[in-house]
A and B are shown apart, each in its own frame.
Chain A
Amino acid sequence: MRKRLVIPRIASSEITSESAYLKRRDFIRAAGLAALPTMSALSPSAGAAVATGGGPLDYGEALAGSSGFRTEEPATPSADISAYCNFYEFGTDKGDPARYAHEMTVDPWSIEVSGSVHKPGKLHLEDILSGFDLQERIYRLRCVEAWSMVVPWVGFPLADLLNRFEPTSEARYVSFETLYRRDEMRGTRSFTSTIDWPYREGLRLDEAMHPLTLMAVGLYGKTLPNQNGAPVRLVIPWKYGFKSIKSVVRIRLTEKQPMTTWQALAPREYGFYANVNPEVDHPRWSQASERRLPSSLFRPNRIPTTMFNGYAEQVAHLYQGMDLARSY
């Protein structure tokens, strides 16, 4: 029988500092050990890493310039990435997820895949963590609130997961749902919240199958902290952050475009596509520039926002002929 995996909470002291992390990478590169099999020998397998307490995940490094899988921009320190989050299930303050997400049980966990697929079924946590080839992707993340980060994720393409369930020819869209567990998610108990839980997101099938679209299970080479969407979350680097749904429990392939949480709440402000676009402002604020975090009071680090968050070369063809001011 398989042993239950325990995903530990990561103490801030255990989070690799940016400098230590980059040094480790330099060491690996300098030693000429970048080849995947050698790295497996250096680090335990993903499943074991989870069981041993936030140890390094086993993954292949993203190569510089490989179709946008990696950026050379300085990564946001991991302490900032896991301290400053939007995860409204735990509260609307940026610090709430870091304070309260440990109340969420992430093991046992499963993702139910249904709808227009030949083989509907469930993926359990152990299948998710050890059943796919993990890769590192260093992506820009642009929040709709006009701040951004650079995040080294560890994960696998969503396409690998979807293909396992064999989408039928009717499948046009993919919808996703976050875990909704009131007793573990205090934000969902707020009676003044206008969100209809669970949190829902959706993609067109070709967007979902795009090689950049990632299911992330790790951050900075280690197990994903709860507040960042443990144990498994979506990452779509060319769309505003709210599309990258966290702590996914349900995936459904559909023929019709699914309704998403933000679209239902404020259709004038949040569209289905939500592609990063400096020319289409949010009705309440400009999207032309962003604060790249960490920023400081004396150096706000304001940079211009780029079309598709800088991934136009990889994804612009998906939207050919569409009016992006209307399909925002």
Chain B
Amino acid sequence: MERGIRFGAFILCLLPFIWVVYAAVVGRLGPDPAEVLMHFTGEWSLRILALTLLVSPLRTWTGWSVLMKMRRMLGLFAFFYGCIHFLSFLQFYTGWAPAALAEEIVERPYIALGFGAWALMLPLALTSTRAMRRRLGGNWRRLHRLVYPAAVLACLHLLWQARSDVGEALIYFAIFALLLTWRLKRHRLQQQQSVSART
């Protein structure tokens, strides 16, 4: 049962990728496929990142332990779509020229923000194995708090690109704001509890 749910979630997370590959092969991405691919993978990275951060609150509300076992997979999928997003940028917008990439990052703040979000997720993906988690001990938790600044940078990356309609970026901001507020509150509550436990 538990394995079935996790497998189902795996397939669901993979579906956007399967769709975009299929659409690219049959030419359904329209006259500017590079732009569609960029937007599509960037948005799915952000969406799955939001789902990853939703795991803890959902687990608290529902008590379903299977959720926690899906968290790593979700986080890795967010990184996976982020990687395709970044690779597409290198292929279509810089032509793999290091100088062009450096110029884009230095001169275009929104690209620096997106790159920053990806770079913050990279160590999290690298240390996501059970062995690394054991080896890092308490530092693992601290390291993985980098997911919060990564989410904020990703939202700013989206907002900075808006030309006239900021609606979409604001929706993501609201979602992540809720998810982060919940964590802050839980953190305060835990501190209060530990204080009262001591007295």
Contact = CB atoms under 8 A, between A and B. Distances in A.
Interface string B146-177: 00000000000000110111110010000000
A18 to B, nearest CB: 12
A195 B34 contact: no
B110 A284 contact: yes
Contact of A294 (B31, B95, B107, B167): B31
Nearest to A80: B31
B69 interface: no
B30 interface: yes
B24 interface: yes
Interface string A64-88: 0000000000001100100110001
A145 to B, nearest CB: 8
Contacts of A84: 30-32
Interface string B2-45: 00000000000000000000001001011111110100000000
A79 to B, nearest CB: 9
B92 interface: yes
A190 B167 contact: yes
A94 B38 CA distance: 14
Contacts of A171: none
B134 interface: no
Contacts of B166: 192, 194
A193 interface: yes
B32 A302 contact: no
Interface residues of A, number: 31
Interface core residue of B37, B91, B163, B170 (most chain A CB under 10 Å): B163
A295 B167 contact: no
A296 B164 contact: no
Contacts of B161: 284
Contacts of A147: 32, 35
Given A297-B37, A300-B92, A192 B31 contact: no
B183 interface: no
A194 B165 contact: yes
A284 B95 contact: no
Contact of A300 (B24, B30, B34, B164): B34
Task: Classify chain B: how many residues form its interface, as a range.
Answer: 20 to 34
Interface core residue of B30, B32, B108, B160 (most chain A CB under 10 Å): B32
A193 B167 contact: yes
Given A284-B160, A300-B92, A190 B33 contact: no
B156 to A, nearest CB: 13
Interface string B83-112: 000000001100100000000100110100
A284 B160 CA distance: 9
Contact of B24 (A76, A284, A297): A297
A291 interface: yes
Contacts of B160: 284
B164 A88 contact: yes
Contacts of B34: 291, 295, 297, 300
Nearest to B171: A192
A147 B38 CA distance: 15
A295 B104 CA distance: 22
A94 B27 CA distance: 17
Interface in A286-318: 286, 291, 293-297, 300, 302
A77 B167 CA distance: 32
B164 A265 contact: yes
Contacts of A83: 30-31
Contacts of A293: 31-32
A92 interface: yes
A80 B165 CA distance: 24
Contacts of A195: 164-165
Contacts of B92: 291, 297, 300, 302
B32 A295 contact: yes
Nearest to B109: A284
Contacts of B30: 80, 83-84, 94-95, 294
Interface of B: 24, 27, 29-35, 37, 91-92, 95, 104, 107-108, 110, 160-161, 163-167, 170
Interface of A: 76-77, 80, 83-84, 88, 92, 94-95, 147, 149, 190-195, 265-266, 281, 284-286, 291, 293-297, 300, 302
4 tightest CB-CB pairs across the interface, nearest first?
A192-B167, A80-B31, A294-B31, A293-B31
Given A295-B32, A297-B92, A302-B95, 8 more contacts: A84-B32, A149-B31, A284-B160, A291-B92, A295-B31, A297-B34, A300-B91, A300-B92
